[in-house]
């Protein structure tokens, strides 16, 4: 795709990551993340003392140790794969592409400024969350709005809310599953584990769980139904009820129901990160085997795979039509 005047650019947005696998860096990241009312909507007078007095001091060192087990030579996996996506998408489309993280660096603001510095007056924002949620996609929009609030010269903006029902996205997931099965054989079940949100958020209108269920159904239809698929939700936090069924509780039950060989995929994550490489690949593996399971395989995120980049390219091209 040609962009002779360099007027149209793409901002890829993701959650973000600590700068280093240290308690100090994790604390700074978690503080920004958990201060966002999109993520935790408790009253600030109640939440902030709890966050700074208990949660951050206790969790930061523990989470830092988990990051140390997955840290790559180039840095945090989420950042490494995101940078690869950026480079591949820019090459595929011929458009300027920049990264912007909701929390941490590079920020949404710095990503926008980088695109403007490259001559972009029209910017397509692509949050890398296939399924919409107020806790993720809307949080990107909030940061976007805040970033341009004082800008004397606003760029023209378009924003992609979700892409869970894109055929190319389902096809990319299916191809990754089929490639894994070709090498390792088919399991008794394919578990689709999505990041959870408090059930209350869904009760108040967040469409995230319906998007997740639809993703699993579409993937199951594409794979042909020979292997059963199941939707579960991971990464719950606190005492409040979150979306169910829970991934860890499901893993405890499956071996007793005859599921001895299990594959797990995490369709809500665009790139591999702590929640997939440590929580799924290590914690969930241990849970399943301890419950009597015999084989457990995690199928990596789409990351910068050719089919994923092709899907993103198609999404971008369609959404910039008319510009």
Token couple for 102: 């909701």
13, β-bridge pairs: 100, 127
Average pLDDT of the residues in 212-219? 98
Element (H, E) at 209: helix 208-223
Q: What is the CATH number of the domain that holds 222?
A: 3.40.50.1400
Residues 120 and 223 placed together within one structural domain of the fold: no
Q: How confident is the model at residue 151 (pLDDT cuts 50, 70, 90)?
A: confident
Residues 171 and 293 placed together within one structural domain of the fold: yes
Q: Is residue 216 part of a domain?
A: yes
Q: Is residue 274 part of a domain?
A: yes
Rounded to whole angstroms, how far apart are CA atoms 187 and 173?
Answer: 16
Rounded to whole angstroms, how far apart are CA atoms 132 and 140?
Answer: 11
Rounded to whole angstroms, how far apart are CA atoms 110 and 137?
Answer: 18
Instruction: Say yes or no to pLDDT of 314 above 60.
Output: yes
Helices (H), 13-166: 23-35, 44-50, 56-70, 77-93, 108-117, 137-148
Residue 254 is given by DSSP the state G
Rounded to whole angstroms, how far apart are CA atoms 120 and 123?
Answer: 7
Contact yes or no for 232/246 (Cβ under 8 A): yes
- With pLDDT > 90 as the criterion, what percentage of the chain qualifies? 93
Residues 201 and 255 placed together within one structural domain of the fold: yes
Q: Is residue 284 part of a domain?
A: yes
Instruction: Say yes or no to pLDDT of 4 above 60.
Output: no
Q: Is residue 44 part of a domain?
A: yes
- pLDDT for res 108: 97
pLDDT in tens, 164-176: 999 999 999 999 9
Q: What's the chain's average pLDDT?
A: 96
Q: Scan for tokens 């920020």, then name that residue.
A: 107
- pLDDT for res 5: 53
Residues 179 and 202 placed together within one structural domain of the fold: yes
Residues 112 and 199 placed together within one structural domain of the fold: no
Domain membership of residue 31 as a residue range: 23-70
Average pLDDT of the residues in 20-45? 94
Contact yes or no for 96/120 (Cβ under 8 A): yes
Residues 245 and 279 placed together within one structural domain of the fold: yes
- pLDDT for res 153: 85
As for how many domains the chain has, the answer is 3
- pLDDT for res 44: 86
Rounded to whole angstroms, how far apart are CA atoms 58 and 221?
Answer: 44
Q: Is residue 151 part of a domain?
A: yes
**Domain end among 35, 53, 70:** 70
Average pLDDT of the residues in 69-93? 98
Residues 185 and 248 placed together within one structural domain of the fold: yes
- pLDDT for res 6: 54
Instruction: Say yes or no to pLDDT of 30 above 60.
Output: yes
Contact yes or no for 158/320 (Cβ under 8 A): yes
Instruction: Say yes or no to pLDDT of 1 above 80.
Output: no
Strand order in the sheet with 295-299: 229-234, 189-195, 261-265, 295-299
Q: How confident is the model at residue 3 (pLDDT cuts 50, 70, 90)?
A: very low
Residues 282 and 234 placed together within one structural domain of the fold: yes
Residue scoring higher pLDDT (181 or 238): 181
Among 122, 151, 144, CA closest to 6: 122
Q: Is residue 17 part of a domain?
A: no
Residues 253 and 291 placed together within one structural domain of the fold: yes
Q: Is residue 135 part of a domain?
A: no
Q: Is residue 175 part of a domain?
A: yes
Rounded to whole angstroms, how far apart are CA atoms 171 and 208?
Answer: 20
Residue scoring higher pLDDT (68 or 150): 68
Residues 277 and 245 placed together within one structural domain of the fold: yes
Residues 176 and 287 placed together within one structural domain of the fold: yes
pLDDT in tens, 249-302: 999 999 999 999 999 999 999 999 999 999 999 999 999 999 999 999 999 999
Assign residue 234 a region: left if phi > 0, alpha if psi is -120 to 50, beta otherwise?
beta
Residues 272 and 217 placed together within one structural domain of the fold: yes
- pLDDT for res 225: 87
């Amino acid at each position: 795709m040609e962009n002779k005047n360099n007027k149209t650019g793409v901002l890829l947005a993701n959650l973000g990551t600590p700068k280093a696998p240290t308690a100090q860096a994790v604390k700074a990241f978690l503080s920004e993340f958990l201060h966002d009312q999109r993520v935790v909507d408790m009253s600030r007078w109640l939440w902030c003392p709890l966050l700074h007095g208990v949660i951050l001091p206790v969790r930061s060192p523990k989470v830092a140790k988990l990051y140390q087990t997955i840290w790559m030579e180039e840095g945090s996996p989420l950042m490494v794969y995101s940078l690869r996506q950026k480079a591949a998408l820019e090459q595929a489309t011929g458009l300027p592409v920049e990264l912007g993280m909701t929390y941490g660096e590079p920020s949404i603001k710095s990503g926008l400024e980088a695109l403007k510095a490259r001559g972009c007056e029209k910017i397509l924002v692509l949050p890398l969350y296939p399924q919409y949620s107020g806790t993720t996609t809307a949080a990107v929009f909030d940061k976007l709005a805040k970033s341009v609030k004082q800008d004397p010269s606003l760029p023209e903006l378009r924003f992609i809310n979700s892409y869970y029902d894109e055929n190319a996205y389902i096809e990319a997931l299916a191809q990754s599953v089929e490639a894994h099965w070709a090498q390792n054989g088919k399991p008794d079940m394919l578990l689709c584990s999505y990041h959870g949100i408090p059930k209350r958020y869904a009760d108040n209108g967040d469409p995230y769980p319906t998007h997740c269920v639809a993703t699993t159904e579409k993937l199951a239809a594409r794979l042909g139904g020979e292997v059963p698929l199941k939707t579960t939700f991971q990464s719950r936090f606190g005492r409040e009820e979150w979306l169910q069924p829970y991934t860890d509780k499901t893993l405890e039950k499956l071996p007793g129901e005859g599921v001895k060989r299990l594959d797990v995929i995490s369709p809500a994550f665009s790139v591999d990160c702590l929640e997939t490489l440590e929580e799924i690949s290590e914690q969930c593996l241990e849970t399943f085997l301890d419950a009597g399971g015999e084989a457990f395989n995690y199928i990596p995120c789409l990351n910068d795979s050719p089919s994923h980049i092709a899907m993103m390219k198609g999404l971008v091209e369609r959404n910039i039509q008319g510009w």
